[in-house]
Structure 1
Amino acid sequence: MSSPAATPADAAKVIAERAPGFKPRVGIVLGSGLGGLADRIEDAVTISYADLPGFPRPGVHGHAGQLVLGKLGGEPVACMQGRVHLYEGTGPAAIKLPIRTLKLVGCETLFLTCAAGSLRTEVGPGRLMAITDHINMQGTNPLVGPNDDAFGPRFPSLTDAWHPDLTGHLAWTAEGLGIALATGVYAAWLGPTFETPAEVRMLKLLGADAVGMSTVPECIVARHCGLDVVGCAVITNLGVGLGDGEVSHDQTLRAANAAAADLERLIVGFLEGLDR
């Protein structure tokens, strides 16, 4: 007889044992090459995904695979240092369980970060883009299958999926820090192949401003269970056919690392001003 599948409650129990009495307010998911922010967390408690029942272990370079709990910008946070992607062959449960665990341990807001290719030539590598809306081009949805009524309704609305007030606070923070923050619509591509020039043209016609291979499934799961969502993409390249630069995962990591300092300042500033 097979053992029962792990649940978010199982992972939340481990977190409660490792960090007794700690209740994070904000969950943060760090994308490719952006894991350095976790090093700034004060009084950190670090838990490997391997020790959290049901947490999938990332198989992509640039994703450490650990949860870091502590204070950042004066706020208690739970920071996921790395994520899994649907192109790795993981099913929807691999996306749902970590986000629902963050909900169970007390998070009210989810801050999503990612690396992305720009579909606007004026927003080039090294820029940051606040996500205002998304287009799901992955051909699936993490909520496919039986609904868990304990977390949310069968047919959740995605109106204002990316919280307008939180996005406005992010823009206000960037202006105060002198960080050039673009805004736009993020298209989620399944991957693992990068888009063709024709697909880039199609996404532009659909109204997308950037494209990546993550983030949207987590937003959907978060909204389903009542978390407010805010997000920021690090632009690592121009879409294929829009520039002469190389498009590869190594290039993505290099560009993300170069922009990480601005993203870290932005997130810390965002947290510091959260109650203003």
Structure 2
Amino acid sequence: MHTLETESQFVGHLSEALAAIEAVGGPRPEVAIVLGSGLGGVVDKIEEPVRIGFADIPGFGQTTAAGHQGELVRGWLGGVPVVVMAGRLHRYGGWSNGQVVFPVEVMRRLGAERLIASNAAGGVRPGLKVGDIVVIEDHIDWMSGSPLARFSPQAEVDQVTDESRLLGSDPFARAPVPIGRGKKVYDEGMIQKALAAARQGGFSATCGTYLAVLGPNYETRAEYRMMRRMGVDVVGMSTVPEVLAAARMGMATLALSMVSNVASPDTAQQANHEEVLAAGQQAEPRMLQMVQAVLRK
């Protein structure tokens, strides 16, 4: 549980962030959108955009992944007022879970009642192809702990792996609010609209389970074989913290995974981030169709 002092710090960061964003203007958003690797071009479709860099928003960290612009954009998409994160923070960048989800807290308080999150992910289920889109209907969360612990000297490991000290000192940490077992994290109505848009557009989109890992890494063949046995369809290094934060705040949520590379457990293949970006450019028009369909009530 975080302390009253860190709660006060969090409220201060939140107020400062909202003030900075409101100062540059833009419509009150109905929908928040998080754009992942290779999908940043969707932001160019926004009408009457009002942009502010993450660096100019108090409390926002800097994105480190290639293909992430690091901007918050307010405007109109398909006639609906939106707020869009062109890029996101990743746990493997050294950010705490509280820092990763802080922008979602901000977008909710700007007025967004729905969240659409996208990511690039590795395809685990046989039959998936690069450029396919998987609509997440469930997930497995392997994002606990600190990715820095694997790369830091022991003195630093002691600092970043002590959960009680982390929660006690991190001004972005939020007291955990459990989500009831019967509560569906991903909104069924939004899922069905996304799938209908794919059918109308004549491209592949299926439902599946997303495995969220800390990273930064591409999985080994042995890990892919394990994931298949677990029932995983796609694996990536983001999205779940943001989705859980949105669910706790009562936001209806949709998450889309673009298959950027396909697992080949029986043959050695090397994946790289350039392939992820290229796959994103290929899938971007399809992703946009689905997002626009979901925006319509």
Mark the structure with the bigger radius of gyration: 2
Contact 2:125–2:232, Cα closer than 8 Å, also in 1? no
SS in structure 1 at match of 2:66: coil
What does residue 119 of structure 2 align with? 114
Residue pairs, 1:95-174, within 5 angstroms: 95-140=100-145, 145=167, 154-157=177-180, 159-174=183-198
Question: Which residue of structure 2 lines up, in the alignment, with residue 264 of structure 1?
Answer: 288
Q: What residue identity is the alignment partner of 1:219? A: V
Contact 1:196/1:240 (<8 A) preserved: no
Task: Confirm or deny that 1:81 pairs with 2:86.
Answer: yes
Structure 1 residue 252 corresponds to structure 2 residue 257: no
Distance 2:124 2:108 in 1: 33
Alpha-carbon separation, structure 2, partners of 1:226 and 1:7: 21
Q: 1:245 to 1:264 in 2, by over 3 A?
A: farther
Structure 1 range deviating more: 234-243 or 93-102:
234-243
Work out the CA distance in 1 between the residues paired with 2:186 and 2:79: 23
Could you tell me how far 1:145 is from its partner in structure 2? 3.7
Q: Structure 1 stretch 114-123 or stretch 235-244: which is displaced more?
A: 235-244
Q: Secondary structure at the match of 2:37?
A: coil
TM-superposed CA distance for 1:8, in Å, is 2.3
Q: Do residues 192 (structure 1) and 197 (structure 2) align?
A: no
> Does residue 1:210 correspond to 2:215, yes or no?
no
Q: State, as a whole percentage, how many aligned pairs show the same letter.
A: 32
Per the TM alignment, residue 96 of structure 1 is displaced from its structure 2 partner at its CA by 2.2
Alpha-carbon distance between aligned partners in 2 of 1:127 and 1:197, rounded to the nearest angstrom: 21
Q: Please, what is the CA RMSD of the aligned residues?
A: 2.4
Letter paired with 1:250: E
Deviates more, 1:74-83 or 1:262-271: 262-271
Does residue 60 (structure 1) correspond to residue 73 (structure 2)? The answer is no
What is the total number of aligned residue pairs between the two structures?
Answer: 266
Write the letter of the residue equivalent to 1:56. G
Relative to structure 1, the CA distance from residue 184 to residue 258 in structure 2 (aligned partners, 3 Å threshold; closer, same or farther) is: same
Q: Which residue of 1 aligns with 2:76?
A: 71
Cα deviation for residue 47 of structure 1 reads 0.6
- Residue 41 of structure 2 aligns with which residue? 36
Distance apart, 1:243 and its partner CA: 6.2
Alpha-carbon spacing, 1:90–1:153, altered in 2? closer, same or farther (3 Å): closer
Greater shift in the superposed pair: 27-36 or 195-204: 195-204
Query: Which protein is richer in helix relative to its size?
Result: 2
The offset of 1:157, in angstroms, is 2.7
CA distance in structure 2 between the aligned counterparts of 1:30 and 1:236, rounded to whole angstroms: 14
| Kept in 2: contact 1:8–1:54 (CA 8 A) | yes
Q: In the alignment, which residue of structure 2 is the partner of 1:17?
A: 23
Q: Say which SS state the counterpart of residue 46 (structure 1) adopts.
A: strand
Which of 237, 248, 252 is 1:228 aligned to? 252
Separation (CA, whole Å) in 1 of partners of 2:53 and 2:88: 12
* Structure 2: runs of 5+ lacking an equivalent: 1-8, 147-162
Structure 1: any 5+ residue segments left out of the alignment? none
Q: Are 2:221 and 2:268, in contact at CA under 8 Å, matched by a contact in 1?
A: no
Distance 1:152 1:40, change over 3 A: farther
Q: Measure, in 1, the Cα distance between the counterparts of 2:239 and 2:39.
A: 14
How far off is 1:242 after superposition? Answer: 5.8
- Give the TM-score normalised by structure 1: 0.89
Paired with 1:249 and 1:241, the residues of 2 have a C-alpha distance of 19
The code of the aligned residue for 1:16 comes to E
Instruction: State TM-score, norm by structure 2.
Output: 0.83
Following the alignment from structure 2 to structure 1, what is the Cα–Cα distance between the partners of residues 226 and 54?
37
